Structure 1
Amino acid sequence: MPREIITIAAGQCGNQQSSNFWERLCLEHGIATDGTIDPEKECYDRKDVFFYQSDDARYIPRSIMLDLESKVIQRTVASEFGALYNPENMFIPESGGAGAANNWGEGYTQGEKYIDQVLDMLDRETENSDSLEAFMLFHSLAGGTGSGFGSLVMENIREHFPKKILQTVSVLPSSGESGSEVVVQPYNSVLTLKRLIQQADSVLLFDNKALKRIKANTLAGTRRSLNTEIDIRETNIFVSQALLAATAPIRFPGYVYNNWSSILTEMIPVPDYHMLVPTYTPFIVPDAEKSLRFVRKTTVSEVLHRLVQAKHSMLAVTANQLQDSSFISVLRFIRGDVDINDFKKQIFGAQRDGLRFSNSFTESSQIILAKQSPFVETKSKLSGVGLWNSTVIGDCMKDVLNEFNLLFNKAAFINSYKRLPMFADNDLAEFNESRELLQYVIDSYNDLKLK
């Protein structure tokens, strides 16, 4: 029996990424834009992990969309896949909303007015599941809704559904990013990281700096117009490609890792270290004129090696940081056309691949052959996704905390938070607690490094 996953999208970034993910899920499972399926496209897969069937046999996403302004959700409804979703699972304020002003406190405070409606949606979707395993939250840490409202949703999921896995797809702002519209994004990030540390069971960490680097490398030498919406869609495609590959074993089941908890058990030896770094190769934008340069020969050993390189990480990691770090666990999935005997021969030498593992845990480096969708043609023979549990996460968190301290030590831009009830009377305990917790996590990761 498949174990279901409900996705929740909070804020602009979360909803954009979630919509792209669902579009590509449909393509991988042969589901049309209206939720119907061609009988000739039936295959042995587990559509029920992410979809359920309505009374008229259409496949409906187990998806909830939340935002404090209407633009992105309305755009999803008006899109080619708009008829796919359950309209009862879309929340925006009745007035259309004015957003959270890129302020974590504003998103959290507004969310408190509406959280009961969100819990009703979660209850309804949970009751519609036979064996619910996990909630998967898509959000960004930079703005106000994904960070603040997203934090409140995490707290309530943990309180109301304590036995279910809370998985997040969390996008950090670029460290040291110049010209950002959100000058307070270090505050929003650290306040949200507190909830990701305390409430989530597993966090897939992405960041804009790495996604922009991947986009630049992928599209190098191609002819393309400057268009912000296209840029965002392309980076969302990269995130979707990684998530589709990571969830492939539970959607196209094989002999191992046929539910999400089995993957997390392999990756997370103790709950304190539950932040994971995704890698992927090769990144391809699914437009013919942009992808021609990726028609090349790929091998299992090449893909496996790329999956443990810093330049293929979807979190901004330098080669030096990775070299100085220690792995807690590594899991790599290969998808595509490969002979199983050849696969077994090639993974023997790649099992360690020169990786340094922390002495604090039993060494764990697994390589799995995952099934490919029969409905999606790709220009590369092979693709792969990697998941790292590594002390390099502490280095990335240190960059976030340094930016927070630069602002907080000067009390810069803090007044926009003080006007909210939760920070009234100059009560900045939430900021101090979040900073102290993040510093503790950084120190904990540093203690795991090989000396």
Structure 2
Amino acid sequence: MSHEHDVNDNKDVLFYQADDDHYVPRAVLVDLEPRVIGGMMQSPNFSNLFNTDNIFLSDHGGGAGNNWASGYCQGREVQEKIVDIIVREAENTENLEGILLTHSVSGGTGSGTGSLLLERLREIFPKKVIQTYSVFANTEGNSSTDVVVHPYNWVLSMQRLIENPDHVVVLDNAALHRLAAGKFKTDTPTFDHINSLVGRIMSTSTSMYRFNSSILPSIRYLDIAPFPPMHFIQSGISPVVDPSENFTRKTSVADVTRFLLKPTSMMVSTAAGVRPNDCMLSSYMFLQGQIEPHNILAAEQNVDFAIRRTPFYMTKPLKMMHAPLSPYVKPQYKVSGLLLNNSTSVAPLFDSLLAKYDKLRSKRAFVDKFEKIDNFSLDMMDEAVHSVQDLLDEYRAVVQKDYLTRGL
């Protein structure tokens, strides 16, 4: 993510203009097997969009077999090639502010190679903001992920997500599927349905510095993780509508705000586990559309009342902002919003996944799949579990009124 000097046009934050004048994403695409990227590059929508020099596909093309250890260790073999692409792209910017990384923490490449790249990115760019959009597996009921070792992949990824990025936007597939099924009126949401939700989250969360906001001129100003490593962000959007259908309901700041503050609106399956003393640590609500200043002032008063009921020592953890809209896309609705919520209520998701990990590990189920990978040790798994447990302990401690003075 670059921040160029032309303050009147911030397309250059995520794109650069090629010699033929078309805009090319500042994106590096990485996979250990060619199917997904290959299919995308054959698509009429994307075949001429990306810089083909910024695509890395493993020579053997066999993938990581849904195994973090395989993805991580294969990543070691090819990391310099990937890093060379990233560094070259970074050097082509005038002022690199930060890096956005999208990946899954369930399969092998996104979790394993993604973890290795996070370590390298933090090493190479120690002062830059690193923000991830991390997809967590759908593990609910009969729709449980087909990656049986995903709890192992998750816990190993979590250690790197705790230690390296500045912000992690948690995209919980279970919550995404549930929301898409309800709002799009289908029992089997498609990738297009899910990606339309994720696309809204990513585009709105970056809109302030893509469209010349004086309040958040770059990602460096996003103050949403006051107590590292508690930097795991939940997100919610409103309204949620099928992009292929007409939207006929009237939207208002009050309705959008009210919806976003419901625990069930978060794209993380934690509403059932919300505890009485859960609280916001720092949150942003971006409101877009036809909004007057008094609309936001009225909404802030209602929000302040709701937050006062939260037993926590911080004042005004929620910042409400009028975010710019893209001048290139006609919105479906008059008012829309995104909540980026750094809250202790994300901890139950980690508790649940850690319990699934403990159940597998206590039986040594499938550990042979990891032990057979060269240069992988189960000690890495044990170390990762300690990191996750330390994080959960921190989430329990931060809600106590003596948190800031603890240890003095």
Q: How high is the TM-score relative to the length of structure 2?
A: 0.92
C-alpha change, 1:438 and 1:242, in structure 2 (3 Å) is same
Q: Equivalent residue for 2:204?
A: 245
Q: Is the CA contact (8 Å cut-off) linking 2:296 and 2:320 kept in structure 1? A: no
Most deviating of 199-208 and 247-256? 247-256
Matched, 1:235 2:197: no
Q: How does 1:304-315 map to 2 (within 5 A)?
A: 304-315=257-268
| 2:387 aligns with one of 418, 430, 437 | 437
Q: Equivalent residue for 2:220?
A: 261
1:374 is displaced (CA, Å) by 2.6
Deviations 1:223-261 (A, max 9, x none): x9x6xxx71121011011011111111111233012111
CA distance in 1, matches of 2:26, 2:306: 38
Q: Is the CA contact (8 Å cut-off) linking 1:305 and 1:353 kept in structure 2? A: no
1:139 is displaced (CA, Å) by 0.4
Percentage identity across paired residues of the two chains: 33
Amino acid at match of 2:199: S
Matched position secondary structure for 1:204: strand
Most deviating of 185-194 and 248-257? 248-257
Q: How does 1:131-142 map to 2 (within 5 A)?
A: 131-142=95-106
Q: Is the CA contact (8 Å cut-off) linking 1:331 and 1:387 kept in structure 2? A: yes
Q: Equivalent residue for 2:36?
A: 72
C-alpha change, 1:318 and 1:349, in structure 2 (3 Å) is closer
CA distance in 1, matches of 2:140, 2:297: 43
Q: Equivalent residue for 1:101?
A: 65
1:183 is displaced (CA, Å) by 0.3
Deviations 1:394-448 (A, max 9, x none): 211111110000000110011000101223xxx4111111111101111110112
Q: Equivalent residue for 1:278?
A: 235
Q: How high is the TM-score relative to the length of structure 1?
A: 0.83
1:188 is displaced (CA, Å) by 0.2
Query: How many residues were matched structurally?
Result: 397
Q: Is the CA contact (8 Å cut-off) linking 2:140 and 2:174 kept in structure 1? A: no
Q: Equivalent residue for 1:165?
A: 129
Deviations 1:168-226 (A, max 9, x none): 00011124454531000000000000000011111001111100111111112x7x9x6
Amino acid at match of 2:381: F
Most deviating of 168-177 and 241-250? 168-177
| 1:325 aligns with one of 268, 278, 293 | 278
Matched position secondary structure for 2:196: helix
Structure with the larger helix share: 1
Q: Which runs of 5+ in 1 are unaligned?
A: 5-42
Q: Equivalent residue for 2:147?
A: 182
Q: How does 1:119-134 map to 2 (within 5 A)?
A: 119-134=83-98
CA distance in 2, matches of 1:153, 1:432: 21
Q: Equivalent residue for 1:316?
A: 269
Deviations 1:37-59 (A, max 9, x none): xxxxxx95410110011223221
Most deviating of 316-325 and 363-372? 316-325
1:384 is displaced (CA, Å) by 0.2
Q: Is the CA contact (8 Å cut-off) linking 1:191 and 1:434 kept in structure 2? A: yes
Q: Equivalent residue for 2:344?
A: 391
Q: Equivalent residue for 1:3?
A: 3
1:295 is displaced (CA, Å) by 1.9
Amino acid at match of 1:300: V
Q: How does 1:369-408 map to 2 (within 5 A)?
A: 369-408=322-361
CA distance in 2, matches of 1:69, 1:369: 42
Amino acid at match of 1:282: P
Deviations 1:98-153 (A, max 9, x none): 11000000101111111000111011101100010111110011100000000010
CA distance in 2, matches of 1:90, 1:180: 28
